[in-house]
Amino acid sequence: MAIISPFKALRPQAQFAKQVASRPYDVLNSGEAKAEVRGNPFSFLHITKPEIDLPDGTDLYSAAVYEKAKENLQAFMQRDVLFMESKPCYYIYRLIMNGHSQTGLVCTSSVKDYEKDIIKKHEFTRPEKENDRIQHMKICGAQTGNVFLAYRDVDALNTLIEKWQSDKSPIYDFTAEDDIQHTLWIVNDDTIIDQISQLFKQAVPCTYIADGHHRAASAAKVKAALGKEAPMSAGAFLTTLFPASQLRIMDYNRVIKDLNGFSAAELIKKLSSDFEIKEESNPVKPAALHEFGMYLDGKWYRLITLGGRFNPNHPIESLDVSILSKLVLEKHLGIVDQRTDHRIDFVGGIRGLGELQKRVDSGEMKLAFSLYPVTMEQLFAVADGGEVMPPKSTWFEPKLRDGLLTHLLS
């Protein structure tokens, strides 16, 4: 069963919460982060993307970058922008985006649960990204990034969280520049804290990483690296857990640099052996699984997978990203390893279909595919089967803000 714990959060004074809260470090490059913090000395990006405070061209993985993160974190604490909670608490975090609301529980999850696969994974991690977060955690002495977990709904837990929200006033409530509303409540009643812990222990057999595989893997490796010197807090890592019914996965689309020597007509003819193809007058947002949009030479096409082309009972083979990979990318375009092939790029659904058209029409790319989103049940089936999804399969929105709740390793 899943073990979660309350923790003493490092968090901003209420008057600084909106300024401190920042988008996750891995959705911005250094230039975008530098532009985003302009005029805001309190942005948590000074800690998660500290190269913005160093000369241009600084090696992002140099010791100077991690030391700057530590220096900035300590400065935020010394200036009382951030303060430490007086006791271990849980926190309720609600996000509202375009009318969609989802509410999670912020806590720490057990590193042992991660190692024993009670916290289930569905992605491979990349060593360079792991090493970056390991160094950041070790030198800062803090987990600054949240791991986004999902679990199958527990009605009693949903009811308990909803009642607390209705009875109590939030500690933070603001709408960010991207129009996403962020509201947090503190759960500081010992009786309720114990009820939540016991409900998870009794009713939640496992949790699933939705977003944050590298942060979770890095937390486990930091604990292992510290060995006997590891503080007790290093045995857990910062997580926010959401009931699956409230989550939505967005599409994660593909753009391709060339047609592998084919003309547009030749490629369409080849694809017709595996897909029913219809030219459309408007951008194609797939309406169902196993359906794709294709943008080529200024035209949109709807591709519907013909029967018998995949195993519908296999958790990986039945994914649309797998079908596209097998029947299009590998079979006709010569793209075998999407992790390393520079002819393919990935566009999160949050950017819309217009971004696909833009990148093709500009001449940067030759071809684009829009996909139907992976479902939560598909994600659970992959993780339960011990399988790994193809790269860039899921895009979750809205994303948690960094800086509102930090877990110190001390």
Q: What's the CATH code of the domain at 305?
A: 3.30.1760
Is the same domain home to 219 and 280?
A: no
Per the model's pLDDT, the better-predicted residue between 127 and 379 turns out to be: 379
- Which of 285-290's residues contact partners 24+ apart within 8 Å by CB, and which partners? 285/251, 285/353, 285/370, 286/251, 286/320, 286/370, 286/371, 286/372, 287/372, 288/372, 289/320, 289/372, 289/375, 290/320, 290/323, 290/372
pLDDT band, residue 113 (cuts 50/70/90): very high
Kindly report the average pLDDT of the chain as a whole number. 95
pLDDT at 234: 80
Q: Which residue type is seen at 305? A: T
Residue 387: inside a domain: no
pLDDT at 229 (0 to 100): 73
The full length of the chain comes to 410
Q: Does residue 337 sit within a domain?
A: yes
Co-location of 220 and 304 in the same domain: no
Of the chain, the percentage scoring pLDDT greater than 70 comes to 100
Same domain, 326 and 402: no
User: 391 lies in a domain?
Assistant: no
Reported as a single tens digit per residue, the pLDDT across 123-142 is 888 888 889 999 999 999 99
For 245-280, the DSSP string reads: GG--EEPEEEEES--TT--HHHHHHHHTTTEEEEEE
Selection from 17-26, 230-239, 385-394 with the highest mean pLDDT: 17-26
Can you tell me the mean pLDDT for 96-118?
Answer: 96
d(CA 153, CA 49): 35
Residue 348 confidence (pLDDT) above 80: yes
pLDDT given at position 136: 95
- Specify whether 8 is located in the same domain as 119: yes
Exposed/middle/buried for residue 141 (C-beta within 10 Å: 0-12, 13-18, 19+):
middle
Q: Do 332 and 294 sit in the same domain of this protein?
A: yes
Determine the Cα–Cα distance for residues 99 and 101; give it in Å rounded to an integer.
6
Domain holding 316, by residue range, is 252-372
For 303-343, write each residue's pLDDT tens digit: 999 999 999 999 999 999 999 999 999 999 999 998 889 99
Q: Is residue 379 part of a domain?
A: no
CA angle (300, 306, 311) in 5-degree steps: 125
Within-domain flag for 389: no
pLDDT, tens only, 190-226:
999 999 999 999 999 999 999 999 999 999 998 888 7
CA-closest candidate to residue 142, choices 74, 209, 91, 79 = 74
User: Both 263 and 239 in a single domain?
Assistant: no
Element (H, E) at 108: strand 100-110
Residues 238 and 304 in one domain: no
pLDDT of amino acid 251: 94
Q: Report the domain count for the chain.
A: 2
Q: Do 263 and 210 sit in the same domain of this protein?
A: no
Across 102-116, 230-244, 369-383, least confident range? 230-244
The 10s digit of each residue's pLDDT in 44-102 is 999 999 999 999 999 999 999 999 999 999 999 999 999 999 999 999 999 999 999 99
DSSP state, 26?
A: G
Token pair for 371: 């996909």
- Quick one: pLDDT at residue 340? 86
Shared domain check, 169 and 288:
no
The answer to whether residues 373 and 251 touch, using CB atoms and an 8 Å cutoff, is yes
161 shares its domain with 18:
yes
User: How confident is the model over 284-300, as a mean pLDDT?
Assistant: 98
**Residue 284 included in any domain:** yes
- Within-domain flag for 104: yes
More confident site: 80 or 1: 80
DSSP string, 183-228: EEEEE--HHHHHHHHHHHHHH---EEEEE-HHHHHHHHHHHHHHGG
Same domain, 139 and 235: yes
Contact 206, 118 (CB under 8 A): yes
Residues 150 and 262 in one domain: no
Looking at residue 410, its pLDDT comes to 80
